[in-house]
Amino acid sequence: MTTTTATGRTVATSGAVRNGATLMAVAAAGFIGYAVLFLVRNFTDSFLELGIGQGEVNVSKDQIQQFSPSLYHYISHLHIAVSGFIAATGLAVLLLAIYGVRSGQGWAWVAAVAAPVLGLAIALPAHYPWNLDTLGHLGLIYLATLVFVVGAVLSGKGLRDARRTTGRSSGT
């Protein structure tokens, strides 16, 4: 156990907390990377999201533009906005994991877990009814989520154990 000073309090953090927070941060960096891919594809001939092709959407970028330039611009603006929100969530979780969870702050763990859970709970279900749940499309998100969950469980257990040991709330 290491002792760290956070917001004027002495907080004990274990290797489990540090390692779990590191995994959470790595996964958050993965979310940011996915957002960058999402953004870049919007400005290429691919246009559609990673892992979405003719099997899922039977028209091309050019066909969408020819059919309706305003629809094309609307879809493009959604790609840009979604990539921005994915990147912003990833950055917030990355910083919460590194500076909050790693220092034993329970509130930071709650926020770092709640943000991507909310985003995924809203975004993922929309993929399944229209067969947009291809491994090429969601595989990287599934991988980052798996790494994140392992890190969240590991650090959460470490925070809980530290709380029991010290009898303190560790910032929650």
Residue 101 lies in a domain: yes
Domain count, the chain: 1
- Looking at residue 41, what is its pLDDT? 94
For residue 165, name the pLDDT band (cuts at 50, 70, 90): confident
51-67: average pLDDT: 93
Residue 37 lies in a domain: yes
Residue 161 lies in a domain: yes
Separation in Å, CA 75 to CA 43, 49, 79, 131, 171: 12, 11, 6, 19, 42
- Looking at residue 32, what is its pLDDT? 98
pLDDT cut 90: percent of the chain above it: 81
Residue 125 lies in a domain: yes
In sequence order, the β-bridge partners of residue 11 are 4
Domain that holds residue 64: 22-166
Residue 171 lies in a domain: no
Residue 15 lies in a domain: no
pLDDT (tens digit per residue) in 104-160: 999 999 999 999 999 999 999 999 999 999 999 999 999 999 999 999 999 999 999
Q: Enter the tokens of residue 135.
A: 């491994």
Residue 16 lies in a domain: no
For residue 168, name the pLDDT band (cuts at 50, 70, 90): low
Residue 63 lies in a domain: yes
Look up the pTM and report it.
0.86
Q: Which of 107, 100, 109, 97 is nearest to 23 (CA)?
A: 97
